[in-house]
C-alpha cells in the first residue's frame, strides 16, 4: 500500500525508517497538546506571562514563523505572477512550508487569547484602526488560500490522481492558481506589514514606536521587505535540509543559487532602509522624553544587539548572497541564508521581547521573563506538527518535481 | 454644583505630598469594583490592582534617599489613547460623555494587545478564575459585574457610581448627573484627601484649578497622551525625577 | 434530469435545513412554567384597580424595584381574597411560609448589562420593550436558552432575527443600539455595560 | 445583509474594510466554484482521459517530449508542449507543407536491433495502431516495449465494448508488483482482445467517422525515435562501474527486465512508457 | 438503488447536509450562544441584587472606634467608608477597617467550639454547651484563673472585673493602650486613664512610632498635614519610614537604641535644668534618678545610637522649650522604653497638660474603674508558671499579646489551659485550648471607648446589622456564661441590649459631655437630650459620646520611676559592621489581626506592604551579599532560622535586615501564620520586653 502511494520513479526510505523518524515528533506533539489542554482548561496562569509581559514566547514565535513562512507567498508571486519558471522546482515545498507556518501560528494564537470562543468578535465587531484586526483578517484569509494551494499538491498523489474527478479538479484548480497567488500576495503584503505595524504604532512604547508613512508606521514596510527577503532563504534552507535528511538531491544546484540571489538583493535593500530608519528613530525618540542610550543600558540588551541585527546578521549575509563566488559554493550559500534568517529572528525578538522588558514609568524597573514549560511545550508541538506534515508530504507527495528527472538522468 | 453645558471630562489630582501609602485606595477600589483577592500563586506581577500605589524615590543612598508614593490607576488618556486604537474588537472605547476610557471585559477576548500598548501598566489581565473565599461573594457590589478569567480589565473611574448618579439625575428629571453624586471609591476613602476627583471641563471645579497649578504634573507627559490623572507635589526632586524617565533606571526584576 | 447523486445531495440539504430551522430552535430552548400564574388584567382591571407603578416603581435614587417583593403581594393576599387556585398557592406556599416567589423574568438582562428604567420612563412606553405584558391575563411559558441561559425574549421569537415582529420582540444589544440611534441617543459602552 | 449592517451599526471605515475582506472571500469562493463546476462537466462528458494526458504531459521529462521533427532532424532541438497533438500544431502544418510525408514501404525494418515494421503507426508510449482491411485497427506494443517488459506477471485487458480514448489507458500489465499502463494510440471501441501471441492485444473499431492518427509516428521518424529511446534506456541502465552494457548495434536481449532485476524498473517504465 | 450504501452515496448526502447546515441558523446561533456562555460562566459569582441602604455604625477593630458608614444590600454591608465629620476619625478609615465586612466570611472563621489538645496536634469540635460543661470542671479545680481584657473600658470589662472580684481564684488583667499604661505603672495607680493630646501638641517626639501608619486614628496624618508648619514632629528611627519621610525632622538612630536615646534626653533635661520645679517635685525618687541618669551623657549615648551629641542636646531642648510637647513610642516597644519615654513626658511637664498627656475622668455609668483596678493585675507582673487558666477575650480584634508571654506565665508541662473567645482559629500550641466562637463586627451590639490619641475619653456603640451565626457568643453573653460556670452572680445580667441600655441610661443621667449625631452631623450636649433613649438612638445610629475636658488634677500625682527604670541594663554597643536583624512595625493598623483576604492587594499583589514573609534590605548590603530584589534568603541567628523574601529598599539602614512583625492572616496564606512569632524565632527580647537587634547571617536560598 505504502509503495502505491509513493510517486512513480522516486525512491523513499523504508516504512520502518520512516516510522522511526516520525516517532519522536509524535511524542513531542503529545506533550505539547497536554500543555495546550492545561492552558485552555486552567487559563494562562499556566504560563509565565504577566501583566507586564503580556506578550511572551508565543507572540514572538508567531511573528518569526510568519516572517519565515513568507517564502510561500513570495515564491508563488515570482512564479505565477512574474513567471519565474525556475521556481517551479520548489513551489510545492514552499506552499507546504507556508501552510505549516501559518496554520501553526493561528493554532498558537488560539491558545494565547484568553477567550478563544469569542475570537470571532473580531470579525463581527472589528476595530478597523487596530493593526491586530488587519493581521487577523489577512492571516485567516491567507491560511484559506494556502490550504487551497495545498490541495493540488495533495491531489497529485499517485493514488489520488487515479480518481478521475480528483485529477481533473487538480488540473482545473492549477489553471487558476495565478488568482490565488495574486490574492495571497496581496494578503501577505498586508499582514506581514501589519505585524510590523503591531509594534510600530505603540505610542506608549517609544522603543518600538515609529512615525507613520501614510497610515502605516515604517515598521510596516520594513516587515514586508524583511519577510520577502528571508522567505527565499528559508525555502533554500528547508530544501537543503530536506535533501540532507533524505540523502537525495531534490533540485538542481542553480535553484539554490537563484533563491540566494533573490534573497540577497532584497536583503541589502532592506538593511539600508532599516539603517536609515534606526538613525531617524534615534534622533526622534528623545523628543518623547526617552534617551536612546537608555534603551541599551541593560547588558542583556546592550547596543551589541543592534549591531548584530543590522551588520552581522544583516549586511554580511546580504553581501555574501550577492557575490556570485559565494553563491557558487553551497556551504557558504547555505550559511549566508541561515544568517539572513537568524537576522530576522533576532529582529522579531527585539521588537516583541525587548520592547516589553524595557521600563517606561519613572519608577519602573527593567523586567525579564522566562517562559514556563507549558509555553515551550506548546511551541514544540507546533514545530513537531510542522515536521510531521512536511515529512508525510515529502514521502507521499511530489514536493520537488525535479527530483525524478535528476534521478533518471 | 450642576455641570456646565459641554459634557464633563472627569479627572483626578493626586497630592503625593499627602499620600502616606496606606493602600486604602487600593482596597477600596477592589471592594467597589469586585476585584477578587489573590490566589496563592499570584505575585506582584500577576496581581489585580486597578489602583496601585508605587514608590518613587530619588535614587540616592541611605540616608539621603527620599521617596513619595504615587497611586497609579488608569490615566484616562485624552489624546490618541494608546490602548483604545489597538483593541481589535472595540472592547476599549473613549466615552465622549465623561472622558472615561471605558474597558468592556465582556467584549474583550484577552489578546492583551492593549496591555503592551499602555505605558502606565494600568491594565490587568485575569490570569485566574475569580475566587472569593466562602461567602465573601455576598459582599460584592451589584453595580459592577464580576469579570471572568481570560479578559483584560482596568480602572473605569467607578463607572457604576457614574451610572447610579445618572439614574438619580433621571429620577430628578435632570439631563446630566450632578458631580456631587459622583466620586470614585479611591478618592472617597483616602484618609488624607490626597486624591481629588472631579470635572476637568468645568473651570470652576477644584480639580481643574489644582491641575493648572505649577506644582501639578503628569506621568510621561512627553508622549502626548494627555492623561486626565494629575499629580502634584511641592518637592522639587519629585518633578526632576518624573521628568527624566525610567530608561535611566538600572533596577531589574525577574520572574519564571 | 435529477441524477440519483443530485437527489441524495438534495435529500441531505433539505434534511439539515429542517434540523437547523425547526428542530434546533425547539431543542435549544428549555420551556419552564412560572412558579405561579398571575393576571395583570385582573390586578389592573376594575377588580384590582391598581396602576403599574403600584408594584413597579422607581425609587428617588433612580433605582427600579422591578418585580415586587413578596410583602407587596402580602399586603392584599395575606389571606385568600379570590377563588383562584393560584392565589391559594400564593397564600399557602409563599405568603404563609414567607418565601419569596422565584419569578422568572422574561426581560432579564445579563449581569454585565446596566439598564436604568428611570432614564427610559417618560421617553419610552413600557409596551415598547415589554409588549402587552401589562394587560395579559396569564403568564406565558418562560423559554430559557440551554447554552447561554438567557431568556428567549432577549433573542426574540424569530430564530433568524431577520423578522422582528415588533420593537419588543428581541432585546439584544443590537436592538438597544437600533432604538438609541433612531432616537439619536449616544451609544457609548458605559451607558449600558457595568 | 444591509439590514444587519445597519442593525449592528458598522461605520464607514468598517464597511470599507469588511468590503475588501468579503471581496477577497468572494474571489476565493468563485474561483473554487468555477473549478468545481468545470470539473463536474468534464467528468460527466468523460473527457477525463484527455485531461489526464494533458495534465501528465507536463510532468513528463523534456526528453520524453522531443518533437517528431527533431527526430527527423528538421529541428536542432524542440520540446513539444502540445501533448503531441500535431493536428493543432502550426509549425507541424508548415513543415508538412514543405515536405509531404512519404508513403511507408511495408517491409520490416530494424532500429538498434529492434524490429520496427513500418506498416503501422507508433505512439510515443511504445504502442502502435495498425489499420486492418475491414476498417478496424489492431493495437499492440512495439518490439522495444515487449523486450522491456519481457514476460509480465499479468495483463489487464479492457472488456469488449469498452471505449478507449487516444492517449488514454489502453490496458495495464503487472510487473514487479506494480501495474503500469499502455497508452492507446487512437480512439475506438474494443471488439476483440488477445494475449499478444499474434503480436497484437486489442482490435478496435472506430467510434465515429475518421480516426485521428496525425499525432502518431510513422516512416523514418520511427527508427530515429527507437534509437533515441534505446539510448535513453542504456543511460537508465548504465552503471558507473560497468559502463555501457549493451554494445551499440548488438542485439538486445529478449527480456531486458529479466537481465537487470536490480534496476528500478518502475522508474524506467514510468519514464519510457510515459506514466509519471 | 441497490441495498448496500456506498461511500460515494454517503458523501453526497453529507455534502448536501453540510451546505444545508451552513444555510440554517444552527451553527451561527451556537457560535453566538457559546460566546455568551463565556460571558456568564456559572462559576463566576453574580453579585446579589436588592434594596440599597446606608447604615452608620462604629468600627470595633481597634480602640480608635472610627465611625463608619456601610452601604448595604438588604442587610449585608457591601462597602464601608468613614462617617463624615465624626469626632473620632474625621471620616477616615484604615485599610483593615475598610474591609471589616469581609471578616464575617473569613476562611479561618470558627463556626463551632473547638478544643485543641496540647501541641495542637489534633483538635475536636464540640457544642457550646459541652464546651462550657468541660470548662466548668476546668475552672472549678484550677487555683489561678486570669481574665485578659485587651480593650479595658468597655461595659464587659467592668463585668470581667466584677467576676474576678467575686470569684476567689479569678483575677482580672486589663491591657490598656501600650505607652499610656506606663503612666499607671510609674504613678503606681492602675485606675489612671489618660490620652495623648497630639492635636494640640506643638512638638511631638516619636521614638519610631508609626504615627501616620496606624499608630492612632486613621485621620492623624490628615490632621497633621492640615496643621502643617504650626506643629513639629521629630521622628527617631533607623528607617526612613512613611512617618519619618513626612516628619518635620528625621533623626537616624541605630535599631534598638531608643531606650538609651530617651535616657540621654532625660539626662540633658536635668543637666541643663530644663525641668519645672513641679515636675521635679512630682518624682519622689528624683535624686536616685539623677544619679542613675548621670551615666547617659549624650557623648556616651551617641556611640550607641549613632546620633551626634549635639543633635541629642537640641532635641532635648526642643521638647523642653516647644511646649506643649509630647513623646510617644511604637506599640512594639518594650516596657523599658515605654517607661523611659513616659519619664520624658513627666519631666517636660506634659502629663496632665493640654497638648501633652491629658488625664481623663472615668466614664460614668460603670462599676468604678478604681474598684476594678483593685482586683486587676498586669500580666508581666505575674510570677512565671503561676497561671492555670487564661481567659482571653479576642472577640474584637484578635490578641496582640505575644504567645511567648502567655507561655511563660502558664503552668509548665503543657498543663495550662487557654479559653479564648474568638471568631477565628488562633491555636496556641503550648496549652490545652478551648476556642469559643464569637461574633464579629456587624453581628453584635457592643460598646467601645474612644481613641487613645485624643484629649478626651469617648464612648460609641457598634450595632448588629446582620444576625449572629448560631452558636456564637458576644463578650457580654460570654462573661455571663463564665459567671454561671463559676456560679457567680453579676450586678447586671440579661441581653446585651439591656445591659448596654442600663449603662447609656446612667451616662445620660450624668448629663456630662456631648454627643455626635450622624443624622444631623452635629454635636450637642447630652443635657439637651430629653430621654436616655434619645442618647441611645444617637449612639446606635453610629454617633458617639465625648467627655467634657474635665481631667484629674495632675498635681495630685506622684511618680516613683526608679523601680521600673533601674533594672534596665546599659544597651551594649554593637560594632556597626556586623549584620543585624530587627523587627519593623509596618502598620499597627492591622498588626496581630486577622484581616480580609482582599488585603492581598497591598501585600502579595503589589508589594506595597511587607508581608509576613518579607524583609527589607538596603541595596548596598544586598549587593555585598549578592542578593537581588525578590530572591528568597535564609536568615540564621542563634535563636533560629527563617526564610524570607528580600526586598531592596534604600530607605533602610545598611547592615540591618528589617523583618516584618505584622501578623496577618489573609486566608490565602495559612490562617495560622503569625509572623510575630517568627520574628521572635530570630530576635532576642530584652528583659523589658522590647526586641534587641540580633546578629544574623544571610544566605540566598535556591528553590
Query: Residue D108's pLDDT is what?
Result: 66
Chain E residue whose CA is closest to C159 = E25
Mean pLDDT, all residues of chain D: 83
Residue linked to cell 456646565:
B4
- pLDDT band for position E674 (cuts 50, 70, 90): very low
Q: Does E47 touch chain B (CB under 8 A)?
A: yes
CA E373 distance to own-chain centroid: 23
What ipTM goes with this model? 0.90
* Alpha-carbon distances, residue E647 vs B151, C38, E618 (angstroms): 30, 65, 8
Among B116, B124, B253, beta carbon nearest to A365: B253
Q: Which H or E run includes C31? A: strand C29-32
Q: E strands, chain D, where?
A: 110-111, 114-115, 121-122, 127-131, 137-141, 154-156, 163-164, 169-175, 178-183, 188-193, 202-205
Please list every residue in chain C whose beta carbon sits closer than 8 Å to the beta carbon of residue B142: none
Q: Does B140 touch chain C (CB under 8 A)?
A: no
Q: Output phi, psi for E95, to 5 deg.
A: -60, -45
* Residue C89 · residue C163 · CB < 8 Å: no
How close C83 comes to chain E (CA, Å)?
A: 32
Q: Is D131 helix (H, G, I), strand (E, B) or coil?
A: strand
How close B30 comes to chain A (CA, Å)?
A: 17
Q: A129, A155, A168: best mutation site toward chain D, by most D Cβ within 10 Å?
A: A168
For the whole model, what pTM was predicted? Answer: 0.91
Count other C-beta atoms under 10 Å from residue E6's C-beta: 9
Q: Is D80 helix (H, G, I), strand (E, B) or coil?
A: coil
* Residue B152 · residue B123 · CB < 8 Å: yes
Q: Does B244 touch chain A (CB under 8 A)?
A: yes
How close A118 comes to chain E (CA, Å)?
A: 5
Count other C-beta atoms under 10 Å from residue B114's C-beta: 27
CB contact under 8 A, C190 and B96: no
> Which residues 138-177 of C are in CB contact (within 8 Å) with E?
145, 147-150, 159-160
Query: What is the largest distance, in Å, between two alpha-carbon atoms of chain A?
Result: 70
Among D8, D24, D39, beta carbon nearest to A168: D39
Query: Residue E128's pLDDT is what?
Result: 82
Which of the residue ranges B83-92, E71-80, E678-687 would you say has the lowest mean pLDDT? E678-687
Among B45, B72, B117, beta carbon nearest to A204: B117
User: Of all residues in chain D, what percent carry a pLDDT higher than 70?
Assistant: 88
Q: Is C154 exposed, middle or buried (0-12, 13-18, 19+ CB in 10 A)?
A: buried
CA E632 distance to own-chain centroid: 29
Query: Residue E370's pLDDT is what?
Result: 62
**At CA C172, angle to CA C168 and CA C175, rounded to 5?**
60
Helices (H) and strands (E) in chain B, counts: 7, 11
C-alpha neighbours within 13 Å on the C-beta side of residue E299: 2
Do B and E touch, 3+ Cβ pairs within 8 Å? The answer is yes
Q: E strands, E622-674, where?
A: 632-636, 641-648, 656-660, 664-665
- pLDDT band for position E517 (cuts 50, 70, 90): very high
Set of cell numbers at residue E644: 524570607
Query: Residue E545's pLDDT is what?
Result: 95
Query: Residue A268's pLDDT is what?
Result: 96
For residues E306 and E86, give the distance between their C-alpha atoms in angstroms, rounded to a whole number.
Answer: 42
Residues of chain A with pLDDT under 50: none
* B4 has pLDDT over 60: no
Q: Which H or E run includes A354? A: none
CB contact under 8 A, C174 and D7: yes
pLDDT tens track for A322-355? 999 999 999 999 999 999 999 999 999 999 999 9
Peptide bond before residue C122 is cis, with ω within 30 degrees of 0: no
Sheet holding E52-58, edge to edge: E52-58, E67-73, E76-82
Q: Does B132 touch chain E (CB under 8 A)?
A: yes
Set of cell numbers at residue B109: 477576548
Q: Does E605 touch chain B (CB under 8 A)?
A: yes
CB contact under 8 A, B104 and C62: no
For residues D205 and E30, give the distance between their C-alpha atoms in angstroms, rounded to a whole number.
Answer: 61
* Residue A267 · residue A340 · CB < 8 Å: yes
- pLDDT band for position E591 (cuts 50, 70, 90): low
* Alpha-carbon distances, residue D19 vs A128, A134, A192 (angstroms): 12, 13, 20
Among A113, A201, A205, beta carbon nearest to B110: A113
Q: E strands, E108-151, where?
A: 113-116, 123-126, 145-149
pLDDT tens track for D196-242? 888 899 999 998 778 888 889 988 888 889 988 888 888 888 754 44
Q: Does C114 touch chain B (CB under 8 A)?
A: yes
Helices (H) and strands (E) in chain C, counts: 11, 2
Query: Residue E371's pLDDT is what?
Result: 66
* B109 has pLDDT over 60: yes
For residues A188 and B139, give the distance between their C-alpha atoms in angstroms, rounded to a whole number.
Answer: 52
Higher model confidence: residue D176 or residue C168? C168
* Of A162, A146, A191, residue with least CA distance to A393: A146
* D111 has pLDDT over 60: yes
Among E101, E245, E601, beta carbon nearest to B23: E601
Amino acid at each position: 500500500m505504502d509503495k502505491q502511494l509513493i510517486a512513480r520513479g522516486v525512491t523513499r526510505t523504508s516504512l520502518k525508517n520512516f516510522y522511526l523518524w516520525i516517532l519522536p515528533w509524535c511524542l513531542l506533539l503529545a506533550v505539547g497538546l497536554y500543555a495546550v489542554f492545561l492552558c485552555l482548561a486552567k487559563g494562562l496562569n499556566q504560563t509565565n506571562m504577566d501583566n507586564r509581559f503580556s506578550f511572551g514566547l508565543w507572540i514572538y514565535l508567531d511573528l518569526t514563523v510568519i516572517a519565515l513562512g513568507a517564502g510561500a507567498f513570495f515564491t508563488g508571486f515570482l512564479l505565477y505572477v512574474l513567471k519565474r519558471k525556475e521556481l517551479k522546482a520548489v513551489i510545492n515545498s514552499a506552499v507546504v512550508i507556508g501552510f505549516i507556518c501559518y496554520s501553526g501560528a493561528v493554532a498558537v494564537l488560539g491558545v494565547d487569547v484568553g477567550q478563544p470562543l469569542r475570537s470571532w468578535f473580531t470579525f463581527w465587531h472589528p476595530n478597523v484602526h487596530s493593526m491586530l484586526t488587519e493581521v487577523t483578517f489577512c492571516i485567516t484569509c491567507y491560511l484559506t488560500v494556502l490550504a487551497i494551494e495545498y490541495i493540488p499538491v495533495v491531489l497529485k498523489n499517485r493514488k489520488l490522481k487515479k480518481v478521475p474527478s480528483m485529477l481533473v479538479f487538480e488540473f482545473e484548480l492549477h489553471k487558476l492558481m495565478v488568482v490565488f497567488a495574486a490574492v495571497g500576495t496581496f494578503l501577505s503584503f498586508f499582514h506581514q506589514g501589519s505585524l510590523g505595524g503591531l509594534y510600530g504604532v505603540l505610542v506608549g512604547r517609544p522603543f518600538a514606536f515609529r512615525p507613520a508613512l501614510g497610515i502605516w508606521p515604517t515598521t510596516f514596510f520594513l516587515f514586508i521587505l524583511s519577510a520577502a527577503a528571508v522567505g527565499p532563504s528559508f525555502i533554500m534552507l528547508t530544501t537543503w535540509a530536506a535533501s540532507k535528511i533524505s540523502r537525495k538531491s531534490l533540485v538542481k544546484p542553480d535553484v539554490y543559487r537563484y533563491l540566494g540571489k533573490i534573497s540577497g538583493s532584497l536583503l541589502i535593500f532592506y538593511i539600508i532602509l532599516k539603517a536609515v530608519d534606526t538613525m531617524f528613530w534615534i534622533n526622534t525618540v528623545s523628543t518623547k522624553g526617552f534617551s536612546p542610550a537608555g534603551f541599551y543600558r541593560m547588558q542583556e540588551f546592550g547596543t551589541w544587539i543592534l549591531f548584530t541585527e543590522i551588520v552581522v546578521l544583516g549586511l554580511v549575509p546580504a553581501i555574501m548572497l550577492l557575490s556570485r563566488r559565494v553563491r557558487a559554493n553551497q556551504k557558504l550559500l547555505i550559511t549566508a541564508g541561515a544568517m539572513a534568517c537568524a537576522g530576522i529572528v533576532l529582529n522579531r525578538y527585539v521588537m516583541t521581547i525587548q520592547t516589553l522588558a524595557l521600563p517606561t514609568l519613572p519608577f519602573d524597573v527593567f523586567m525579564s521573563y522566562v517562559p514556563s514549560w507549558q509555553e515551550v511545550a506548546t511551541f514544540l508541538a507546533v514545530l513537531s506538527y510542522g515536521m510531521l506534515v512536511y515529512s508525510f508530504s515529502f514521502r507521499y507527495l511530489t514536493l520537488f518535481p525535479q527530483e525524478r528527472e535528476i534521478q533518471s538522468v | 454644583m450642576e455641570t456646565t453645558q459641554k459634557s464633563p471630562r472627569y479627572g483626578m489630582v493626586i497630592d503625593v505630598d499627602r499620600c502616606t501609602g496606606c493602600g486604602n485606595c487600593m482596597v477600596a477600589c477592589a471592594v467597589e469594583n469586585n476585584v477578587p483577592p489573590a490566589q496563592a500563586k499570584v505575585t506582584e506581577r500577576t496581581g489585580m490592582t486597578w489602583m496601585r500605589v508605587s514608590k518613587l524615590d530619588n535614587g540616592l543612598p541611605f540616608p539621603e534617599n527620599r521617596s513619595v508614593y504615587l497611586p497609579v490607576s488608569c490615566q484616562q488618556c485624552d489624546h490618541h489613547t494608546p490602548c483604545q486604537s489597538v483593541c481589535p474588537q472595540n472592547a476599549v472605547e473613549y466615552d465622549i460623555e465623561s472622558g472615561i476610557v471605558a474597558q468592556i471585559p465582556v467584549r474583550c477576548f484577552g489578546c492583551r494587545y492593549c496591555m503592551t500598548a499602555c505605558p502606565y501598566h494600568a491594565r490587568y489581565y485575569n490570569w485566574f478564575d475569580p475566587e472569593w473565599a466562602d461567602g465573601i461573594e455576598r459582599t460584592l457590589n451589584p453595580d459592577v459585574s464580576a469579570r471572568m478569567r481570560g479578559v483584560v480589565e482596568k480602572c473605569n473611574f467607578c463607572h457604576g457610581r457614574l451610572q447610579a448618579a445618572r439614574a438619580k439625575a433621571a429620577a430628578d428629571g435632570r439631563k446630566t448627573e450632578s458631580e456631587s453624586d459622583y466620586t470614585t471609591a479611591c478618592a472617597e476613602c483616602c484618609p488624607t484627601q490626597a486624591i481629588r476627583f472631579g470635572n476637568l471641563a468645568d473651570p470652576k471645579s477644584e480639580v481643574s484649578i489644582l491641575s493648572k497649578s505649577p506644582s501639578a504634573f503628569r506621568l510621561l507627559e512627553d508622549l502626548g497622551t494627555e492623561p486626565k490623572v494629575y499629580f502634584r507635589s511641592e518637592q522639587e526632586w519629585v518633578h526632576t525625577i518624573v521628568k527624566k524617565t525610567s530608561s535611566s533606571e538600572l533596577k531589574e526584576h525577574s520572574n519564571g | 434530469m435529477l441524477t440519483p447523486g443530485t437527489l441524495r445531495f438534495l435529500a441531505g440539504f433539505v434534511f439539515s435545513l429542517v434540523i437547523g430551522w425547526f428542530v434546533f430552535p425547539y431543542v435549544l430552548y428549555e420551556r419552564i412554567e412560572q412558579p405561579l400564574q398571575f393576571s395583570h388584567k385582573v390586578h389592573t382591571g376594575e377588580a384590582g384597580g391598581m396602576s403599574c407603578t403600584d408594584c413597579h416603581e422607581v425609587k428617588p435614587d433612580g433605582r427600579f424595584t422591578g418585580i415586587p417583593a413578596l410583602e407587596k403581594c402580602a399586603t392584599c393576599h395575606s389571606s385568600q381574597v379570590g377563588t383562584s387556585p393560584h392565589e391559594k398557592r400564593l397564600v399557602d406556599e409563599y405568603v404563609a411560609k414567607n418565601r419569596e416567589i422565584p419569578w422568572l423574568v422574561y426581560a432579564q438582562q445579563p449581569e454585565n448589562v446596566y439598564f436604568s428604567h428611570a432614564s427610559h420612563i417618560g421617553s419610552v412606553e413600557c409596551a415598547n420593550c415589554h409588549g402587552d405584558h401589562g394587560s395579559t391575563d396569564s403568564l406565558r411559558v418562560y423559554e430559557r436558552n440551554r447554552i447561554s441561559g438567557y431568556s428567549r425574549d432577549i433573542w426574540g421569537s424569530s430564530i433568524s432575527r431577520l423578522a422582528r415582529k415588533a420593537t419588543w420582540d428581541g432585546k439584544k444589544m443590537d436592538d438597544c443600539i437600533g432604538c438609541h440611534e433612531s432616537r439619536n441617543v449616544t451609544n457609548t459602552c458605559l451607558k449600558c455595560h457595568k | 445583509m444591509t439590514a444587519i449592517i445597519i442593525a449592528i451599526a458598522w461605520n464607514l471605515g468598517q464597511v470599507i474594510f469588511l468590503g475588501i475582506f468579503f471581496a477577497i472571500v468572494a474571489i476565493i469562493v468563485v474561483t473554487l466554484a468555477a473549478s468545481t463546476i468545470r470539473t463536474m462537466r468534464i467528468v460527466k462528458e468523460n473527457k477525463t482521459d484527455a485531461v489526464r494526458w494533458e495534465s501528465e504531459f507536463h510532468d513528463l521529462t523534456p526528453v520524453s517530449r522531443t518533437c517528431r521533427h527533431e527526430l527527423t532532424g528538421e529541428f536542432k532541438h524542440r520540446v513539444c508542449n502540445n501533448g503531441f497533438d500535431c493536428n493543432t500544431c502550426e509549425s507541424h502544418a508548415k513543415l508538412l507543407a514543405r515536405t509531404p510525408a512519404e508513403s511507408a514501404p511495408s517491409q520490416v525494418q530494424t532500429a538498434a536491433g529492434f524490429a520496427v515494421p513500418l506498416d503501422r503507426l507508433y505512439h510515443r508510449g511504445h504502442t502502435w495502431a495498425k489499420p486492418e482491411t475491414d476498417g478496424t485497427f489492431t493495437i499492440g506494443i512495439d518490439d522495444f516495449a515487449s523486450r522491456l517488459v519481457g514476460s509480465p506477471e499479468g495483463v489487464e485487458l479492457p472488456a469488449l465494448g469498452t471505449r478507449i480514448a487516444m492517449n488514454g489507458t489502453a490496458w495495464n500489465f503487472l510487473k514487479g508488483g506494480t501495474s503500469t499502463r499502455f497508452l492507446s494510440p487512437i480512439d475506438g471501441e474494443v471488439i476483440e482482445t488477445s494475449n499478444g501471441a499474434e503480436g497484437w492485444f486489442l482490435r478496435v473499431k472506430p467510434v465515429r467517422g475518421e480516426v485521428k492518427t496525425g499525432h502518431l509516428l510513422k516512416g523514418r521518424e520511427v527508427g530515429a525515435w527507437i534509437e533515441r529511446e534505446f539510448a535513453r534506456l542504456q543511460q537508465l541502465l548504465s552503471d558507473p562501474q560497468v559502463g555501457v552494457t549493451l554494445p551499440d548495434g548488438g542485439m538486445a536481449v529478449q527480456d531486458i527486465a529479466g537481465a537487470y532485476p536490480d534496476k528500478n524498473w518502475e522508474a524506467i517504465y514510468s519514464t519510457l512508457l510515459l506514466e509519471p | 438503488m441497490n441495498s448496500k450504501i456506498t461511500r460515494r452515496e454517503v458523501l453526497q448526502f453529507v455534502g448536501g447536509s453540510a451546505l444545508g447546515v451552513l444555510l440554517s441558523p444552527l451553527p451561527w446561533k451556537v457560535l453566538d450562544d457559546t460566546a455568551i456562555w463565556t460571558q456568564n460562566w456559572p462559576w463566576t459569582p453574580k453579585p446579589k441584587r436588592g434594596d440599597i441602604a446606608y447604615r452608620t455604625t462604629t468600627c470595633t477593630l481597634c480602640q480608635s472606634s472610627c465611625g463608619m458608614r456601610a452601604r448595604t444590600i438588604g442587610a449585608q454591608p457591601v462597602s464601608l467608608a468613614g462617617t463624615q465629620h465624626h469626632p473620632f476619625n474625621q471620616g477616615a478609615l484604615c485599610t483593615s477597617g475598610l474591609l471589616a465586612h469581609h471578616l464575617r466570611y473569613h476562611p479561618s472563621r470558627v463556626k463551632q467550639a473547638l478544643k485543641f489538645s496540647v501541641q495542637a496536634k489534633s483538635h475536636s469540635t464540640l457544642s457550646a454547651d459541652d464546651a462550657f460543661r468541660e470548662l466548668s470542671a476546668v475552672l472549678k479545680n484550677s487555683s489561678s484563673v486570669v481574665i485578659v481584657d485587651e480593650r479595658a473600658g468597655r461595659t464587659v470589662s467592668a463585668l470581667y472585673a466584677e467576676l474576678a472580684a467575686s470569684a476567689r481564684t479569678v483575677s482580672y488583667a486589663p491591657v490598656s493602650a501600650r505607652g499610656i499604661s506606663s503612666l499607671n505603672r510609674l504613678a503606681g495607680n492602675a485606675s489612671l486613664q489618660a490620652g495623648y493630646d497630639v492635636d494640640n501638641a506643638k512638638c511631638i517626639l516619636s521614638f519610631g512610632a508609626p504615627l501616620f501608619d496606624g499608630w492612632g486614628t486613621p485621620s492623624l496624618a490628615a490632621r497633621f498635614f492640615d496643621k502643617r508648619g504650626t506643629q513639629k514632629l521629630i521622628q527617631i528611627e533607623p528607617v526612613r519610614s512613611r512617618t519619618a519621610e513626612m516628619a518635620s525632622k528625621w533623626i537616624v538612630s541605630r535599631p534598638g537604641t531608643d531606650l538609651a536615646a530617651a535616657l540621654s534626653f532625660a539626662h540633658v533635661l536635668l543637666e541643663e535644668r530644663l525641668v519645672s520645679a513641679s515636675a521635679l517635685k512630682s518624682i519622689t525618687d528624683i535624686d536616685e534618678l539623677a544619679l542613675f541618669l548621670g551615666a547617659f551623657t549624650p557623648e556616651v549615648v551617641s556611640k550607641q545610637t549613632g546620633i551626634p551629641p549635639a543633635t541629642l542636646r537640641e532635641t532635648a531642648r526642643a521638647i523642653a522649650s516647644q511646649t506643649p510637647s509630647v513623646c510617644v513610642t511604637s506599640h512594639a516597644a518594650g516596657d523599658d522604653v515605654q517607661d523611659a519615654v513616659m519619664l520624658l513626658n513627666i519631666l517636660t511637664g506634659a502629663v496632665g497638660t493640654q497638648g501633652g498627656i491629658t488625664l481623663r475622668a472615668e466614664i460614668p455609668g460603670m462599676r468604678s474603674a478604681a474598684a476594678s483596678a483593685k482586683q486587676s493585675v498586669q500580666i508581666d507582673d505575674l510570677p512565671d508558671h503561676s497561671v492555670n487558666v487564661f481567659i482571653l477575650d479576642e472577640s474584637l480584634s484578635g490578641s496582640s499579646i505575644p504567645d511567648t508571654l502567655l507561655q511563660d506565665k502558664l503552668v509548665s508541662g503543657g498543663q495550662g489551659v487557654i479559653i479564648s473567645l474568638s471568631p477565628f482559629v488562633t491555636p496556641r500550641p503550648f496549652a490545652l485550648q478551648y476556642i469559643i466562637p464569637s461574633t464579629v463586627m456587624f453581628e453584635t451590639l457592643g460598646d467601645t471607648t474612644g481613641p487613645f490619641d485624643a484629649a478626651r475619653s469617648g464612648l460609641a456603640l457598634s450595632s448588629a446589622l446582620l444576625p449572629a451565626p448560631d452558636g456564637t457568643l458576644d463578650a457580654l453573653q460570654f462573661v455571663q456564661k463564665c459567671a454561671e460556670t463559676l456560679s457567680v452572680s453579676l450586678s447586671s445580667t440579661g441581653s446585651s441590649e439591656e445591659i448596654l441600655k442600663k449603662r447609656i441610661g446612667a451616662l445620660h443621667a450624668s448629663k456630662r459631655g456631648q454627643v455626635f449625631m450622624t443624622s444631623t452631623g452635629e454635636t450637642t450636649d447630652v443635657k439637651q437630650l430629653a430621654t436616655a433613649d434619645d442618647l441611645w438612638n444617637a449612639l446606635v445610629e453610629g454617633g458617639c459620646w465625648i467627655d467634657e475636658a474635665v481631667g484629674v488634677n495632675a498635681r495630685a500625682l506622684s511618680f516613683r520611676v526608679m523601680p521600673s527604670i533601674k533594672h534596665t541594663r546599659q544597651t551594649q554597643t554593637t560594632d556597626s559592621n556586623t549584620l543585624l536583624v530587627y523587627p519593623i512595625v509596618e502598620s499597627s493598623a492591622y498588626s496581630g489581626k486577622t484581616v480580609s483576604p482582599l488585603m492581598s492587594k497591598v501585600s502579595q499583589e503589589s508589594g506595597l506592604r511587607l508581608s509576613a514573609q518579607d524583609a527589607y534590605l538596603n541595596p548596598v548590603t544586598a549587593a555585598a551579599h549578592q542578593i537581588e530584589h525578590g530572591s528568597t534568603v535564609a536568615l540564621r541567628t542563634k535563636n533560629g532560622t527563617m526564610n524570607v523574601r528580600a526586598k531592596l529598599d534604600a530607605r533602610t539602614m545598611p547592615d540591618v535586615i528589617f523583618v516584618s512583625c505584622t501578623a496577618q492572616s489573609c486566608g490565602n496564606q495559612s490562617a495560622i501564620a503569625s509572623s510575630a512569632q517568627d520574628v521572635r524565632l530570630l530576635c532576642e527580647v530584652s528583659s523589658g520586653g522590647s526586641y534587641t537587634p540580633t546578629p544574623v547571617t544571610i544566605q540566598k536560598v535556591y528553590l
